[in-house]
Structure 1
């Protein structure tokens, strides 16, 4: 089936066609698909990054947000960035039981995305997938990361906003501050807010970040409307400087990914090790290989 036909079917609400396009974007036809959909749509809805330590309730929060946005009539896509598995239809989302309520909803698309060794856990295909989803009519994209390594930092390059999910106690607030996670948080959500120590965790966080802090009990849907209001407030006040910073980070991340795939990288590395070339010249040649000489 040709790409143009898949795009037309996806825009008419076919989740199967949307899934096929996402598979093409993750594979070798990414550029062809992006050229076919044209420029990124103006006024695209939020791309909400959900990150945080394991067990914080990221998937439960995602499931609750999906339900709330569907009640508003929005088409919702969920991309779960998984550390090892290829696209699997969302089978590796942490809260499969709660997400099961949306699996048969044609206006909800749930996908797992493999990182395939990409540094920090954020798949190189994710920015392209987000652009595709906006172009075929999804109003909201929820991006859930594995929450390890540099994924929290990388998500800030593509998400608007980035929501960091933490739990009361367990030192989450302190550890998040030490790891630099709070530096990329546009919003902080303290989940399981009915537990002991929740209020103290909020106070600790206020000393560490100026980001809005929302208390949740995601498993019961409590506080989800407050989180959505914080997301909308962020998007209203998001500055051009912040949008430019995200675009720069995204461009640099994609450029780094492409440079790693350059066939000359190993040859240049061997030349540096053998002393035939210095790293600076090798880097210049990797970025801009010398033009072939005319006969």
Structure 2
């Protein structure tokens, strides 16, 4: 059987990449709803004209289309927002153009510099420089306290070390839903890093919802081995998501991004 007969079609490849397109769009906007709107617009553009994918592989082309729509819109966070999102809008205006977008493509979505250059329309060398600039700008923007909800001790200690080295204060590590709620009450965090499945088979999602209901809105990053299950667009889902196994760069980028927006959406199981 020929390679053409066994290789997935363009439609099948698009289907595989859509969850991660949603993840990228949500991270750009800091919101599930607006991020999914951008992702849907990209898919509609491709359905209307498949030639927009010409000259690239399907994944790179898909992200290039999204980025083109994003850049044309000129509004990374919804206009008219107040509170935390208004602060994020103000922060965004001070960042180097394309830098944050390049950092997300590199650290969270795993594109190389050549692919990033194709997606955002710069030279490969400039793409690498933008990633370096973004790391510094995002890291310098916000410092705060972080709570970790993770039942695997080695992973918890690793995350703690990474986040502490970024200059954030760790409020503690919780292994169960109940521990997480008690820890949050004792020392309210600015940001929560949460695994989905916890030690006693309780849910990190439930723990986070309990904390947000009691303490109010704050940024949350979920960590999961099955990110596609939380990137369907069918129900309330996270704006910030790291896949297991993660890299140090991914944790740093996600924490900087979430702290930067200082907002999240309650996620219902």
TM-score for both structures, normalised by structure 2? 0.33
Q: More helix by proportion, 1 or 2?
A: 2
Query: Who wins on radius of gyration, i.e. which is larger?
Result: 1
TM-score for both structures, normalised by structure 1? 0.30
